């Protein structure tokens, strides 16, 4: 029986986290996940956009709390890892979802092909240097997963080296979690046909040509190998500590809705609190009122 003064929480539908998460240890078959699907949430674009706008305010509020909490010694932070094929919308998520947050509290890093200096270091070196600080939300547009994706498909490292990286990544992410980082890894799942449409659209618009790279077409030819490499990464690195989420991304509004929702669920679970004053508030008031 609920004690007087307490209230039972309203029964909540299962969160999107549960629906989109790759259960640790399970097999992954991307072909069976519909990139145009909508496993939960609004059924049309109009409702989706309205929901995204509403969540934006909520996200900004939680972000401020997280940032404020760090001033009181709370080491917690969040790292959003975005992975997906070209045109899957990693940049769009940064613009439309992260754009709702206070940029002062975001640490965004886009990982390209490693520089010569980076190649001279262990693969997690450049990642470590880009991690969010306490109170921040870090966003990785591509990440250390490239070292088991393009590195595997393009054989940029010996197979044995790539093969041992999965366990290294799990160990690395466990260390981050132990230090207070919530790691949210998102695979933006698009179809081969949707990529064709988006690449053609870039070609049709001269203002989008700068986003186009002839290398994109070569990578596209390796689509099956990439899907397989993603399946392996998702199978081997979806852990209890740092699970992978598969977000259907053929429809941009649904992708943005789902990622806003995942962010909101994780930040809500963190429940960051404004720190209490560690100084004498009334003495400060007096000082200010009595001074010049």
List contacts with a copy of itself (CB under 8 A): 68-69, 71-72, 91, 94-95, 98-99, 101-104, 106, 108, 110, 141, 192, 196, 199-200, 203, 206-207, 209-212, 214, 217, 220-221, 223, 274-277, 279, 281, 284-285, 287-289, 291-292
CB of 103 to a copy of itself, least distance (A): 5
The span from the CA of 30 to the CA of 247, in Å, is: 11
CB of 92 to a copy of itself, least distance (A): 10
| Closest CB to a copy of itself among residues 69, 242 | 69
Contact present, 69 and 274 (Cβ < 8 Å):
yes
34: Cβ contacts below 8 Å, ≥ 6 apart: 248
Q: Which residue has the tokens 């989109």?
A: 20
| Closest CB to a copy of itself among residues 166, 223 | 223
CB of 206 to a copy of itself, least distance (A): 7
| Closest CB to a copy of itself among residues 183, 199 | 199
CB of 147 to a copy of itself, least distance (A): 22
Q: Give the DSSP per-residue string, 86-150.
A: TTSSHHHHHHHTGGGS-GGGEEEEE--SPPHHHHTS-TTHHHHTTPPPTT-EEEEES-GGGGGTH
| Closest CB to a copy of itself among residues 11, 277 | 277
The span from the CA of 283 to the CA of 122, in Å, is: 52
In our burial notation (b when 16+ CB lie closer than 10 A, e otherwise), range 8-27 reads eeeeeeebbeebbbbeeeee
Neighbours of 43 (CB within 10 A): 9
CB of 248 to a copy of itself, least distance (A): 21
CB of 199 to a copy of itself, least distance (A): 6
| Closest CB to a copy of itself among residues 101, 242 | 101
CB of 246 to a copy of itself, least distance (A): 22
Could you tell me the strand order of the sheet in which 137-141 lies?
Answer: 106-110, 137-141, 77-84, 181-189, 244-248
| Closest CB to a copy of itself among residues 137, 162 | 137
3 state SS of 15: coil
The span from the CA of 63 to the CA of 102, in Å, is: 8
| Closest CB to a copy of itself among residues 125, 223 | 223
Closest CA to 23 of 244, 202, 188, 195: 244
Neighbours of 53 (CB within 10 A): 11
């Amino acid at each position: 029986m609920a004690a007087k003064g307490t209230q039972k929480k309203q029964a909540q539908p299962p969160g999107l986290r549960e629906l989109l998460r790759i259960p640790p240890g399970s097999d992954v078959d991307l072909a069976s996940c519909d990139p145009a699907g909508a496993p939960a949430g609004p059924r049309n674009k109009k409702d989706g956009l309205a929901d995204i706008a509403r969540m934006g305010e909520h996200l900004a509020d939680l972000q401020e709390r997280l940032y404020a909490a760090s001033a009181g010694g709370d080491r917690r932070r969040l790292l959003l890892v975005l992975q997906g094929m070209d045109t899957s919308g990693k940049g769009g998520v940064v613009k439309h979802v992260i754009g709702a947050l206070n940029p002062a509290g975001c640490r965004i890093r886009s990982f390209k092909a490693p520089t010569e200096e980076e190649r001279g270091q262990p693969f997690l070196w450049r990642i470590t240097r880009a991690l969010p600080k306490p109170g921040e939300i870090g966003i990785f547009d591509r990440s250390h997963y490239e070292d088991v994706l393009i590195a595997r498909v393009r054989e940029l490292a010996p197979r044995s080296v790539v093969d041992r990286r999965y366990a290294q990544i799990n160990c690395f992410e466990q260390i981050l979690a132990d230090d207070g980082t919530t790691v949210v890894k998102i695979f933006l799942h698009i179809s081969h046909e949707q990529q064709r449409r988006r690449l053609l659209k870039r070609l049709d618009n001269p203002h989008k040509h700068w986003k186009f790279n002839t290398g994109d077409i070569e990578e596209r030819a390796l689509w099956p190998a990439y899907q397989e490499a993603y399946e392996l990464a998702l199978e081997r690195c979806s852990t209890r500590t740092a699970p992978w989420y598969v977000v259907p991304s053929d429809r941009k509004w649904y992708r943005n809705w789902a990622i806003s929702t995942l962010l909101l669920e994780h930040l809500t679970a963190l429940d960051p609190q404004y720190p209490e004053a560690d100084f004498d508030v009334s003495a400060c008031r007096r000082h200010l009122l009595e001074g010049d």
